[in-house]
Amino acid sequence: MRLALREARTAFEDGEIPVGAVVLDASGQVIGTGHNDRERSADPTGHAEIIAMRAAAASLGGWRLSGCALVVTLEPCTMCAGASVQARLDRVVYGAVDPKAGAVGSLWDVVRDRRLNHRPEVVAEVLADECGALLTEFFAHRRVG
Ligand SMILES: [Zn+2]
């Protein structure tokens, strides 16, 4: 989560909503990193999780991320929760809860929906205060600026 936070800070410095993500393989090695770059890339799917999962899949040479874990500073949205199911991730670890758009337990619970045949394990609210503080600071700055 410390690495994901570092990614989030990079997004912050770029003027992007500060969300960062990493993907770890079964041995705990980082195989993908990403931070939100929706503004810079003009890409509606430019969320930290998607970028980290793409990098991880590229490094493994395949789309299946079985055995891997996604670690992200903010509870994933519906798109990213869906992508983590599609990627067959073993585990989704997140920091701050997103009561407005979260799809891993808040508004929806996409990854634990029993109708889906793959359900990643969820570990919620890891370093949640630190992850949330970065977002609060970002939006406070934006209101002032
Ligand atoms: Zn997302």
- Contact assessment for residue 121 and residue 85, using Cβ atoms and an 8 Å cutoff: no
User: Does 57 map to a domain?
Assistant: yes
CA 114/CA 101 separation, integer angstroms: 20
Per-residue pLDDT reduced to its tens digit, 88-143: 999 999 999 999 999 999 999 999 999 999 999 999 999 999 999 999 999 998 87
Per-residue pLDDT reduced to its tens digit, 56-65: 999 999 999 9
User: Does 145 map to a domain?
Assistant: no
- Contact assessment for residue 81 and residue 59, using Cβ atoms and an 8 Å cutoff: no
CA 77/CA 83 separation, integer angstroms: 10
H-assigned helices in the chain: 2-13, 38-41, 48-60, 78-86, 128-144
User: Does 44 map to a domain?
Assistant: yes
How many structural domains compose the chain?
A: 1
Instruction: Calculate how far, in angstroms, residue 129's C-alpha sits from the geometric centre of ligand 1.
Output: 20
What pLDDT is stored for residue 145 in this prediction?
Answer: 57
Catalogue the active-site residues: 49
Which residue range is the domain that position 53 belongs to? 1-138
According to DSSP, the β-strands at 20-24 and 30-35 are antiparallel
Instruction: Calculate how far, in angstroms, residue 30's C-alpha sits from the geometric centre of ligand 1.
Output: 20
User: Does 144 map to a domain?
Assistant: no
What CATH number should be reported for the domain holding residue 109? 3.40.140.10
Instruction: Calculate how far, in angstroms, residue 103's C-alpha sits from the geometric centre of ligand 1.
Output: 9
Asked if residue 68 belongs to a known ligand binding site, the reply is no
User: Does 83 map to a domain?
Assistant: yes
Q: With CA atoms as reference, report the closest residue to 22 among 39, 7, 40, 42.
A: 7
Residues flanking ion ligand 1, Cβ below 5 Å:
47, 77, 79-80
Share of the chain above pLDDT 90, in %: 96
